[in-house]
């Protein structure tokens, strides 16, 4: 799987509908699910809402949360049955509940446990197992702790790490603040690649300019974008051309028509139109005509012809 460009797992964002709309914009970007705790797969009778995806989404990575090796192994078996391309263990989420539950970024304190979790997952999987980590947590000295942490977890046999280039602060900062306040430290991520040249390192955190960020690929193996693509998802139409040497760029008229087809098909299957439309409107967020298009999309009847008429009026489409 080519991990040159990845879209990060984001709670409340990267559901199956968001992933399908992203795939309309880019054929190559690696997509992630929201984080799902192993208990959600093992203790709920109906796991459809956690496991559902369409074949069009691939390549797509399922991100698991948890800290019990046997539970993670059983959850891994379920995911293997559902045609995902990779399973990623969350070792970076800094929300309050991860501390109380002993998973996510809290696991940065427990490298041996992380190794055991990843080993159990690897033994239960036919698809690659990976981990998403931070540089450290709280008052850890990342020059002293990080390489040792990585050396231990790599004993599980994993070959790919997604690294958020910030520490996670489990005390004093909420998840939103953890995305912005701890300083970025790309140089420390680059040193990981130098110290572990045989491991694939994907850089995450603060990326927001495709052309400028592409230069960072000289130092790492891939880039992972989070909130930026949620705020400006239309930028995804440029990904294949910039990162994958494609000669084609999805035009906005084609994108709108694919959205309409997806909405109709999924409403006929019983999915909530609102849950799909809330992602659709973001594709036009920040544009001068976004308010009018939002009104059209959120109305009872999606009028694609009217959206295209507005786009042409704004000179974004050639008539």
Residues annotated as part of the active site: 93
Burial readout 259-290 (b: 16 or more C-beta within 10 A, e: otherwise):
bbebbeebeeeebebeebbbbbbbbbeebeee
């Amino acid at each position: 799987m080519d991990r040159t460009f990845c879209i990060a797992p984001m709670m409340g964002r990267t559901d199956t509908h968001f992933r399908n709309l992203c795939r309309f914009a880019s054929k190559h970007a690696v997509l992630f699910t929201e984080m799902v705790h192993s208990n959600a797969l093992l203790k709920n009778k109906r796991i459809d809402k956690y496991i559902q995806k369409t074949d069009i989404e691939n390549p797509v990575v399922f991100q698991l949360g948890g800290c019990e090796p046997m539970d993670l192994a059983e959850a891994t078996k379920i995911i293997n049955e559902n045609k995902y391309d990779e399973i990623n263990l969350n070792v970076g989420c800094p929300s309050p509940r991860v501390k109380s539950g002993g998973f996510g970024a809290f696991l940065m304190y427990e490298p041996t446990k992380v190794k055991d979790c990843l080993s159990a997952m690897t033994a239960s999987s036919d698809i690659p197992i990976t981990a998403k980590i931070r540089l450290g947590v709280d008052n850890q000295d990342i020059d002293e702790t990080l390489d040792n942490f990585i050396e231990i977890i790599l004993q599980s046999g994993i070959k790919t790490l997604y690294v958020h280039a910030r520490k996670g602060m489990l005390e004093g900062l909420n998840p939103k603040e953890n995305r912005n306040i701890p300083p970025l430290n790309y140089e420390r991520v680059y040193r990981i690649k130098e110290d572990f040249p045989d491991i694939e390192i994907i850089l995450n955190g603060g990326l927001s300019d495709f052309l400028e960020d592409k230069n960072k690929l000289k130092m790492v193996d891939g880039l992972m974008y989070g909130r930026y693509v949620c705020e400006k998802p239309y930028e995804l139409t440029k990904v294949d051309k910039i990162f994958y040497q494609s000669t084609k760029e999805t035009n906005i008229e084609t994108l709108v028509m694919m959205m309409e087809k997806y909405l109709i098909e999924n409403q006929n299957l019983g999915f909530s139109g609102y849950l799909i439309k809330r992602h659709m409107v973001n594709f036009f967020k920040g544009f001068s005509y976004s308010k009018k298009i939002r009104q059209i999309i959120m109305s009872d009847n999606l009028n694609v012809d009217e959206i295209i008429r507005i786009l042409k009026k704004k000179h974004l489409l050639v008539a």
